[in-house]
Amino acid sequence: MSKTAFQSIRGMRDLLGEDARGFEYLKSVVRNVLQSYGYQAFHPPILESTSLFSRAVGEGTDVVEKEMFTFDDFGDSLTMRPEGTAGMVRAAIDNGMTFGTHKLWTEGPMFRREKPQKGRYRQFHQFSVETLGISEPEADVEHILICAELWQKLGISDAVKLKINTLATPEVRETYRNALVEYLQTHYDSLDDDSKRRLDKNPLRILDSKNPQMAELIANAPKLNDFLDDISIQHFQRVLACLDMAGVEYEIEPTLVRGLDYYTHTVYEWVTDKLGSQGTICGGGRYDGLAEHMGGKETAGVGFGLGIDRTLLLMQELGTVADAQQVLAYFIVMGESAKRQGLILAQQLRQESNGKPVLVHLQDSKMKVQIKKADQSGAKYAVIIGDEELENKTASVKELATGEQKMINFSELASLLC
């Protein structure tokens, strides 16, 4: 590959070839499933005020503290969205959608200044799926069922597991937070630097530490489970009962806290052991207080973010990306008039075949070159048009796999090949 003076920014990839095709395949499967559940497209912009993310995602989170791409726009601080929920909720408030119920999705690039590695990028892609206005636990389950159906359709269900936990109500979490901080303070000298830093701002995240030296300390820490009130227990039990009935397997993970501050009650992640350390392909949960916290009306919320890059990596690892649709026909056209005729006939073929790929050789090339291109395209048929064919209004059609060749009248081409 030749190096140019310009290269893509670290952690931001050019998507092309099989990756780009895989992206589009995955996205079309997800869109169809979301449509079948009645979810509507809803696309807020990529740029938002920095304060939106500080407020919604939380000052003490890694995302806000060190990962946002932020810049000054003539006195306004703007940020490239690091996730989708804050923008969706902001847009819902702005568009008067904190009344009634709304099932929404958006999709596109998100930006976090993380250390790039396989499966972790600075520009990555997510589906962000959100339900607003429904506080019942069954809304949490609907999202999990959507995910389970997606994994099935994408061919990865055997490779992913659901980990789930409850973060209870904000009141319960506050009481628990105090107990946790007290415990951690008595063991301050055993905390690693990261945990010492998090102790004030985000102590629950310490439970998420992957440092083996912290494992025992975390194992002996007070458990949120022991602090749950009736509301939190009932919500979680209704979620689990519904999952049991739907036959969705899960593992309760008491230390799962997620990295964003807005969660209440249910939180979950779908993880795989096939992608090394970047094994979480999807994560979500409930965020009932968020709209109010952002200055809107009290609105229940629940959602998930599906990491497109990682999900595709897993599909590629397992070989479950569907094959590209076969090209129906490649038009080999000798001369300007034949080319014009080819363009028109190709259009008819596409229409008749419900949009199957049909290609026309547009450059002025020798027959040999055009035949080679037709072979390379993997087309089922090569449709050859030269002076004689134009004169007789018939095309010479070759089935490329068998070499069988026949003459077909232009007017019958679409009906015979499609």
Q: Is 58 in the site for ligand HAM (CB under 6 A)?
A: no
Q: Is 121 in the site for ligand HAM (CB under 6 A)?
A: yes
Identify whether the C-beta of residue 303 lies closer than 8 Å to the C-beta of residue 143: yes
**124/330 with CB nearer ligand HAM:** 124
Quote the least distance from Cβ 412 to ligand HAM, whole Å.
51
Site string for ligand HAM, 278-317 (x = CB under 6 A): --xxxxxx-----------------xxx-x-xx-------
**48/130 with CB nearer ligand HAM:** 130
Q: Is 85 in the site for ligand HAM (CB under 6 A)?
A: yes
β-strand pairing of 264-271 with 280-286: antiparallel
Q: Is 128 in the site for ligand HAM (CB under 6 A)?
A: yes
**108/378 with CB nearer ligand HAM:** 108
**203/283 with CB nearer ligand HAM:** 283
Cα 255 to Cα 162, 221, 269: the distances in Å are 14, 10, 12
Tokens of 2: 């030749």
Tokens of 256: 């799962």
Of the listed pieces 45-53, 117-125, 178-186, 316-324, which binds ligand HAM according to CB under 6 A?
117-125
**116/386 with CB nearer ligand HAM:** 116
**84/203 with CB nearer ligand HAM:** 84
Q: Is 81 in the site for ligand HAM (CB under 6 A)?
A: no
Q: Which amino acid is at 3?
A: K
β-strand pairing of 76-80 with 47-49: antiparallel
DSSP 363: S
Sign of CA dihedral 382, 385, 389, 393: positive
Of the listed pieces 28-36, 38-46, 77-85, 315-323, which binds ligand HAM according to CB under 6 A?
77-85
Quote the least distance from Cβ 174 to ligand HAM, whole Å.
21
Quote the least distance from Cβ 219 to ligand HAM, whole Å.
24
**40/178 with CB nearer ligand HAM:** 40
**280/341 with CB nearer ligand HAM:** 280
Closest CA to 65 of 54, 52, 75: 54
Question: What is the rounded end-to-end Cα distance, in angstroms, of the chain?
Answer: 40
Note the maximum CA span of the chain: 94
Quote the least distance from Cβ 215 to ligand HAM, whole Å.
22
Q: Which residue has the tokens 């979490």?
A: 173
SS3 111: strand
Residue of 55, 90, 103, 120 interacting with ligand HAM (CB under 6 A): 120
Cβ-proximal residue to ligand HAM, closest one: 307
CB burial of residue 293 (10 Å; 0-12, 13-18, 19+): middle
Q: Is 124 in the site for ligand HAM (CB under 6 A)?
A: yes
Q: Is 261 in the site for ligand HAM (CB under 6 A)?
A: no
Of the listed pieces 78-86, 198-206, 240-248, 341-349, which binds ligand HAM according to CB under 6 A?
78-86
State residue 329 phi and psi, 5-degree precision: -150, 145
DSSP 406: E
Residue of 22, 84, 137, 342 interacting with ligand HAM (CB under 6 A): 84
Q: Is 342 in the site for ligand HAM (CB under 6 A)?
A: no
CB burial of residue 98 (10 Å; 0-12, 13-18, 19+): buried
Task: Return the axis-axis angle of helices 230-246 and 137-154, rounded to nearest 10°.
Answer: 30
Residue of 65, 114, 208, 352 interacting with ligand HAM (CB under 6 A): 114
Q: What residues does 282 pair with on adjacent strands?
A: 270, 306
Q: Is 165 in the site for ligand HAM (CB under 6 A)?
A: no
Cα 416 to Cα 131, 381, 397, 412: the distances in Å are 48, 11, 11, 6
The H-assigned helical ranges of 247-366 are: 290-293, 308-318, 336-352
Q: Footprint of ligand HAM on this chain (CB under 6 A)?
A: 83-85, 112, 114, 120-121, 124, 126, 128, 130, 259-260, 280-285, 303-305, 307, 309-310
